[in-house]
Amino acid sequence: MRVEAQIAYPEGQLTLATASALLAEGEQALAQGCNSFDLSGVEHVDSAALSLIMSWKRAAAAQGRTITFRNIPATLVSLATLYGVAEFLNA
């Protein structure tokens, strides 16, 4: 995951198969001062993506910070709506 100007850019798949590695990369991005995640490079998601986003939000909150998400894929919005957590995507 690359980080530029305090924005992290996860790419590819946000799925169960990639969640552990992306969690660590996202936490490292947060440690570098990241305040936003741009999901425009994300090609595929499953329900693990929701858990990943919530984990990044919790990690930021533990540091007393908030983060935002940009360019959220429609499939992720649909999953969040299905699970009743859409408000957490940018709350």
Domains of the chain: 2-88 (3.30.750.24)
Q: Check whether 2 has a pLDDT greater than 60.
A: yes
Q: Check whether 82 has a pLDDT greater than 90.
A: yes
Identify the burial level of 82 via C-beta atoms within 10 angstroms of its C-beta, where 0-12 means exposed, 13-18 middle and 19 or more buried: exposed
Nearest residue to 34 via CA among 69, 72, 77, 83: 69
pTM of the model: 0.91
- Mean pLDDT, residues 66-90 taken together: 92
Report pLDDT for 78: 94
Residues 6+ away with beta carbon under 8 Å from 48: 14, 15, 16, 18, 19
pLDDT digits (tens, 9 = 90+) for 17-47: 999 999 999 999 999 999 999 999 999 999 9
Report pLDDT for 91: 52
